[in-house]
Amino acid sequence: MNGVVKSVGSLCRSLGRLVEDVGYGLQGRLAYKETLHKSQTLSKYKDSLYPTVKDEVFVAPNASVIGDVTIGKGSSVWYGCVIRGDVNSVTIGEMSNIQDNVMVHVAKHNAAGIPRKTVIGSGVTVGHGATIHAATVEDGSVVGMGAVIMDGAVVEKAAIVAAGSLVVPGTVVKSREVWAGSPAACVRKVSDDEAAAIEQAAVDYSNLGAVHAAENCKTFGEIELDRARRWDRQTRDPDYDLQQGVEREIETRELVPTGYVQTQ
């Protein structure tokens, strides 16, 4: 039954894109071609490899998750990310966050002639603009903003790769060490406070992903209602209703009929 519903849903989405193409053709040279479709955030590769996304995962509408990619429960993939599992597989564990503009790819072949997949564990934070290529990042680790992790490198549990660092191919970043530089090298141990902060960051980003997922799933009517509320609060003096002796419904801001009792 689920397979039938999914097939019907895919057909409806394809029909929507067909209608869009017809409208584009009718507008001619005046048309703006929208090439990004929310329904294409998760894309198959060669008609057989399709991403697997577990429950409570947020994938931003302009991210691209392609091919043989598995994302665990509670994880998040943020705006502008590309996770490409075309020539090998990408696995992301639970409660991990792959932040804005991160690039994750794999290797079919390299200088060593070894195909390599990418494995990102659970509770991992990958900072904005980082690149992970055919490498392994174990549970509870941090890859800082703009850092690059190259083929065959391993970032062990609870380690930190500092922002802007380059971890060269085959390097092993030891557990609970901080590595920085280009090429990266160990600079010190991870403190207990830092380890606790890493764990909390995973929880915070999972919760934040749920908020963004809810916002991105709003209907047109809900968006218009939000806009009306903002306009109401920007233009109406806080004392206006009090002076007029009226009450308003908390959510919609509509006038409350006489004798109506509001509940929080």
Reported as a single tens digit per residue, the pLDDT across 38-47 is: 556 888 888 7
Q: Residue 209 is encoded by which pair of tokens?
A: 């992903």
Mean pLDDT of the chain: 87
Return the pLDDT at 213.
Answer: 93
Return the pLDDT at 69.
Answer: 96
| pLDDT over threshold 80, residue 13 | no
Return the pLDDT at 123.
Answer: 97
The dihedral built from the CA positions of residue 65, 156, 186 and 193, taken in this order, carries a sign that is: positive
pLDDT digits (tens, 9 = 90+) for 230-253: 887 777 776 777 777 777 776 666
Q: Are 170 and 154 in contact (CB under 8 A)?
A: no
| pLDDT over threshold 60, residue 35 | no
pLDDT average, residue stretch 147-162: 97
Return the pLDDT at 2.
Answer: 66
Return the pLDDT at 250.
Answer: 65
Return the pLDDT at 96.
Answer: 98
Q: Are 150 and 168 in contact (CB under 8 A)?
A: yes
The residue that leads in pLDDT, 26 or 101, is 101
pLDDT average, residue stretch 214-218: 88
Rounded Cα distance between 101 and 113, Å, is 29
Rounded Cα distance between 73 and 89, Å, is 18
Rounded Cα distance between 212 and 222, Å, is 15
Rounded Cα distance between 86 and 192, Å, is 38
pLDDT digits (tens, 9 = 90+) for 96-119: 999 999 999 999 876 777 889 999
Return the pLDDT at 174.
Answer: 97
| pLDDT over threshold 60, residue 218 | yes
pTM (two decimals): 0.76
| pLDDT over threshold 70, residue 34 | no
pLDDT average, residue stretch 188-193: 96
Return all residues near 138 (Cβ < 8 A) that are at least 6 apart: 121, 124, 154, 155, 156, 157, 159, 175
